[in-house]
Amino acid sequence: MYRLCFDYGHGGRDPGAVYKGRKESDDNLSIGLEVAKALRQYGIEIDETRTSDVTMNLNQRSAFANIKDYDYFISFHRNAFVPEIANGAETYIYTNTTTNSRSLGEKIQMALVKVGFRDRGVKTATFHVLKETKAPAVLIEIGFIDSTKDNKLFDSKRNEIIKGITKAILEQLGIDEVPSNIEESPSTVEGKQTFYRVMAGSFLVKENANKQVENLRKAGFDATILEFHK
């Protein structure tokens, strides 16, 4: 089972960047919680440095992230500069980073660009949460909060942003997207009752399929692996 640590920047007495009454801390939390919710549907364990509007300093965040062995650490942020001057999305990785960090950062950055944000690239930095966390870490800046253009994108493309980041993380973990479950009414064919088997994922790597089966069985579901070719 994969385990991720999500960090929602700022919060409580530290609102982060503020523009026209809009607080970065609120945007970080709201979008991050939705991505976490989406990923948990795939059996991924996600711990969060905060789940409400509380204050956490940087040392508390890195200490939390280092309690367990996480596959990845992802910090959610929004950018700011001079009002209405800069715009776009960018992703940060630590200066002396691992290949995994860069690969995940590039996937998330591409997802944000596809939504419509200007591509400011994947950059290196020595931010505390990148430097002091053990797991491969990325920090994402989902547009500029002091840019009307980026705020409109953040609000109007909210679902696309959530799906894009979710898909990027799943791709990095080697997990195929799970098709939507379809509920149908019971039926019979020639006196026999028909059962509908629900598919819980398709995987190119058998190890990932085994992990998904294990997660489903732990949750009380009957699960098995069926091979198919296309």
CA pair distance 199, 184, nearest whole angstrom: 14
Give strand pairing partners of 122.
Answer: 91
CA pair distance 111, 200, nearest whole angstrom: 24
CA pair distance 25, 37, nearest whole angstrom: 18
Known catalytic residue at 141: yes
Contact residues for 56 (Cβ-Cβ < 8 A; gap 6+): 11, 12, 49, 50, 64
Helix locations, the chain, DSSP H:
24-40, 58-65, 99-115, 128-131, 148-156, 158-173, 206-218
Count of residues for the chain?
230
CA pair distance 136, 94, nearest whole angstrom: 9
Annotated catalytic residue, options 106, 132, 141, 171: 141
Are the beta carbons of 80 and 145 closer than 8 angstroms?
yes
List the catalytic residues: 141
